[in-house]
């Protein structure tokens, strides 16, 4: 399906990663003006170079810091006069660990990036959208934000919080023309997943076989299957969906 984002200003965090990079390319192809953020300056510059002619604004920054969001939104508004879509996608996971072996610093990092990062993003994006009486925000949670994830408790807790933030904000802004949703993917082959598989018992290949054999579709997601949903959820055509947490897990949480 093709969506038209011509002249819409689209902000993406975690833009240099698996979903983010592909989302940037697809939104650019659909005509969007991009504002891109990531912690990784090198990969962000590579991404900008790959998006020839798109005039993307890129900002290296940490989403757990309020200043990052202040800068991103003010650059979007100063350059283009508006902010139409925000994909709050930056996130971090941790190594598979029992709760009793999870250190406080890991828990704090999960909350700082995955929860405070989304909270601060919306805090700065919403006033810009409110001035226009329009906008769409999509926060990237996880299937681990819908069901528990043994050995990933800190990540799962943080991703549950993303859904609480998204639904609450959706209620606050529904009458102001701003839609706020979350997506809950599972197991798509990005840096995040390959990093986790490498650390698992027996190595990545054996871990992949174990996980995939428990998935109804017997395969991981392709990143483009998640990114296509992003384009649809934020599109003007999808005008009545707000406060929703859409699961994209190949049936994993259904059975």
Q: Which of 9, 12, 20, 58: binder of ligand NAD (CB under 6 A)? A: 20
Q: Which of 35, 51, 63, 115: binder of ligand NAD (CB under 6 A)? A: 63
Q: How far apart are CA 184 and CA 252, in angstroms?
A: 11
Q: How far apart are CA 201 and CA 207, in angstroms?
A: 7
Closest to ligand NAD by CB, 70 or 176: 70
Q: Tell me the site size for ligand NAD, rule CB under 6 A.
A: 29
For the CB of residue 50, give the shortest distance to ligand NAD in the complex, in Å: 14
Q: Which of 111, 192, 211, 212: binder of ligand NAD (CB under 6 A)? A: 192
Active site residue 155: yes
For the CB of residue 22, give the shortest distance to ligand NAD in the complex, in Å: 8
- Chain positions 24 to 53 lying near ligand NAD, rule: CB under 6 A, are 38-40
Q: Which of 188, 234, 245, 252: binder of ligand NAD (CB under 6 A)? A: 188
Q: How far is CA 143 from CA 17, 125, 158, 178, 247, in A?
A: 19, 25, 12, 24, 6
Residue nearest ligand NAD (C-beta atom):
17
Q: Spot the catalytic one: 19, 27, 155, 173.
A: 155
Q: Which of 131, 191, 210, 236: binder of ligand NAD (CB under 6 A)? A: 191
Q: Which of 138, 149, 182, 186: binder of ligand NAD (CB under 6 A)? A: 186
- Chain positions 66 to 125 lying near ligand NAD, rule: CB under 6 A, are 89-93, 113
Q: Which residues are catalytic?
A: 155
**Which residue ranges make up the site for ligand NAD (CB under 6 A)?**
13-14, 16-20, 38-40, 62-64, 89-93, 113, 140, 142, 185-188, 190-193
């Amino acid at each position: 399906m093709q969506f038209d984002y011509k002249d819409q200003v689209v902000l993406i965090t975690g833009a240099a990663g698996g979903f983010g990079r592909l989302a940037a390319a697809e939104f650019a192809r659909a005509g969007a003006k991009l504002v891109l953020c990531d912690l990784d300056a090198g990969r962000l510059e590579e991404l900008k170079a790959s998006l020839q002619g798109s005039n993307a604004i890129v900002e290296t920054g940490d989403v757990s810091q309020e200043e990052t969001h202040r800068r991103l939104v003010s650059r979007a508004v100063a350059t283009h006069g508006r902010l139409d879509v925000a994909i709050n996608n930056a996130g971090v996971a941790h190594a598979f660990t029992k709760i009793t072996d999870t250190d406080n610093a890991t828990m704090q990092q999960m909350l700082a990036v995955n929860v405070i990062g989304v909270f601060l993003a919306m805090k700065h994006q919403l006033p810009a959208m409110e001035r226009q009486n329009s906008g769409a925000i999509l926060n990237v949670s996880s299937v681990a934000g819908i069901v528990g994830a043994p050995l990933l408790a800190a990540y799962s807790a943080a991703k549950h919080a993303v859904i609480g933030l998204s639904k609450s904000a959706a209620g606050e802004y529904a009458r102001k023309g701003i839609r706020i949703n979350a997506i809950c993917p599972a197991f798509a082959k990005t840096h995040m997943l390959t990093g986790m598989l490498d650390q698992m018992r027996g190595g990545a290949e054996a871990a992949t076989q174990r996980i995939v054999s428990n998935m109804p579709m017997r395969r991981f997601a392709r990143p483009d299957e998640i990114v296509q949903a992003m384009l649809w959820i934020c599109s003007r055509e999808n005008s009545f969906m707000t406060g929703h947490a859409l699961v994209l897990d190949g049936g994993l949480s259904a059975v």
